[in-house]
A and B are shown apart, each in its own frame.
Chain A
Amino acid sequence: MTAGSLTAETIELDADPRALYELSLEERWGDGVPLLPPTDDVIESLLVTTPYPPEHVLCALPPRYGVATVELVAINAAMAGCTPAAFPYVIAALDAITVPEWNAFGLTTTTSSVFPMLIVNGPSRDDVGIDYRAGCMGGAAGRGSMTIGRAVSLCLRNIGGQRAGDTSRSVFGQPARFGMCFGEWEERSPWPSLARRRGFDETDDVMTVHGGKGTFPLADINNDDPRDLLYLLAKSIAFPLSNMYLGHAENGQVVLAINPMWAERFAAPFPDVEEMQAFLWEHAWQPVELWPAPNQEILRKKERVRDDGRVHLVERPDQIVPIVCGGLGSLHAIALPSFGESEMQSVAVVRA
């Protein structure tokens, strides 16, 4: 590949790093944090890692349906600081986001805080710098996690045209809108990895995209019986103002990130993850009387209220998705509540 194969407009600017930062703020390219210069040599180093030519159209990204060529994605990934090894993960994430059932059309424009949360499985996690141990959802600062998440965010902003207060009507946003990408600690999971459960091989590197509304922290220091603790986790994720109660029960997933110590405890009574999901589902409900009359009316109209008066968070156990990650300090879990009207998507990472 030569520089002649790149077609995006060139801009000459002062080499002082502050010049690009100022320009990015002026042009609204950035996320408010300094960017690295997308020079041809860096862009080309990313492009050679994919099987696609620069002009290959990956997708049209909502909300403005900007055409995402591989070159444009590489430019944004270069600004985010992606390494060549990380770039195919960015492409996989965009492939997943633009599957219609992920509902990028709704999610990029909603008043909700929802944003693509990227979950990585596969043997290359360490090589790429994907965080899956302590601080994996913020603070661990692995280059892969930080730059892949940020690159996807920049693509949505610069190619899709998603901008808060403008095309995006998000009322609050969330920190993950800077970019959120973490891995599963597969080696410490007593169950098959998320990717394996979604049909991929253990040799596959896989990007899963979840439309997550935020990180919802859960903690406990009092329960010795793993079933009691799982019961409380189930009750906690079924909070009454969850988006999952606004939509249809059969849509969306709630991710439940479990630390490795708790995973080990839970695996004793539930060596089969599907049995644990069934247990969580069995307790993830609230009595319809919990809600005031107007909510009850809508819940009944959506056929969410069962004969026993229970309103389950989701229709099926597989919609509660456990993953194992985080530090060994135990005591905590994190739920990633869903927008509801969005189906999690997984895509294999493809390299040249």
Chain B
Amino acid sequence: MYAYAWIGTLESMTETITIRRPTAAAGEDVSAPTFTVDGPLEGLRVGLRTDLAWRSWQLIADIWADYLRRDGAHPVTVETSAQVGDTASQDRSHIEQLAEDVDCAIVGLGTCGSCTSFAIADAVIVEKHRKPSIAVVAEEFATHGHNMARHLGHGDLKILVLPYPLEARPEHELREIADTYYPTALKLLGVRP
């Protein structure tokens, strides 16, 4: 009896089955072209996309709008707040309009999962109008931002990574961050003297 059991075990150990792989093939890693200002800032209309959810980013964007004016550019601000429904439709059409109206854009903020996805998508809308744009993403969501850009076919989208977290920081720290990263934002856009 034991001999039969042993043989049975051996047989089952050598049996094989054929299964099918359950994963989708990874999409082609092709990136749409990106654009740069490649010129001076003066006279440019610069889009600034804010998000009603993130007060930290509203402050930083306000400061950058002041700096852009100081440096001879014309900031154009659009605030988004929704992902579905009529408000979201209005948000996306405002972004389309922004992409039409400006020379380049700074799109923030990615500091949660879905808001990073939407920030990247809105930056891509600007790039699809063949205008330079950068997405602004907090450090914790930087990899996610790059992944989303790649999945949307814009893997080379320029992403400005800000420290994380931004929320709940004292205002003076946010002002320091705004000062520190303003030149980096311009550099990523391709602004040169």
Contact = CB atoms under 8 A, between A and B. Distances in A.
B85 interface: yes
Given A109-B114, A167-B147, A39 B19 contact: yes
Interface stretch (A4-12, A269-277, A305-313): A4-12
Interface string A160-179: 11000001111000000000
A106 B20 contact: no
Contacts of B147: 63-64, 167
A61 B84 CA distance: 18
B1 interface: no
A79 B22 CA distance: 9
Contacts of B13: 14, 16
A342 B88 CA distance: 11
A37 B22 CA distance: 10
A72 B84 contact: no
A298 B113 contact: no
Given A248-B85, A251-B85, A343-B85, A11 B19 contact: yes
Given A10-B18, A101-B85, A167-B147, A158 B118 contact: no
A76 B22 contact: yes
A66 interface: yes
A24 B130 CA distance: 43
Given A63-B147, A109-B144, A169-B112, A12 B82 contact: no
B27 A342 contact: no
Contacts of A68: 24
A298 B85 CA distance: 19
Given A12-B17, A39-B17, A112 B113 contact: yes
Q: Which of B21, B52, B86 has the most CB of A within 10 A?
A: B21
A124 interface: no
Given A10-B18, A14-B15, A63-B147, A29 B86 contact: no
A1 interface: no
B141 interface: yes
Nearest to B111: A111
Interface in A61-79: 61-68, 71-72, 75-76, 79
A329 interface: no
B129 interface: no
Contacts of B144: 109, 167, 169
B85 A106 contact: no
B133 interface: no
B20 A75 contact: yes
Contacts of A27: 23
B16 to A, nearest CB: 5
A15 B21 CA distance: 16
Interface in B62-104: 81-88
A163 B18 CA distance: 26
B21 A9 contact: yes
A101 B84 contact: yes
A145 to B, nearest CB: 21
A67 B24 contact: yes
Interface in A52-110: 61-68, 71-72, 75-76, 79, 100-101, 103, 105-107, 109-110
A158 B22 CA distance: 6
B24 A110 contact: no
Contacts of A342: 83-84
B141 A159 contact: no
User: Which of B16, B20, B113 has the most C-beta atoms of chain A within 10 angstroms of its own C-beta?
Assistant: B20
A40 interface: yes
Contact of A13 (B19, B82, B83, B114): B19
B170 to A, nearest CB: 14
A67 B25 CA distance: 8
Given A109-B114, A111-B113, A246-B53, A169 B141 contact: yes
B16 A13 contact: yes
20 contacts: A8-B20, A8-B21, A10-B19, A14-B15, A27-B23, A37-B17, A63-B147, A66-B23, A75-B21, A76-B22, A103-B83, A105-B117, A109-B117, A158-B23, A158-B24, A161-B24, A169-B116, A247-B81, A341-B84, A342-B83
Given A10-B21, A14-B17, 7 more contacts: A13-B16, A13-B17, A16-B12, A38-B22, A76-B22, A247-B82, A298-B52
By Cβ-Cβ distance, the 5 closest A-B pairs, closest first, are A66-B24, A169-B113, A106-B114, A341-B83, A15-B15
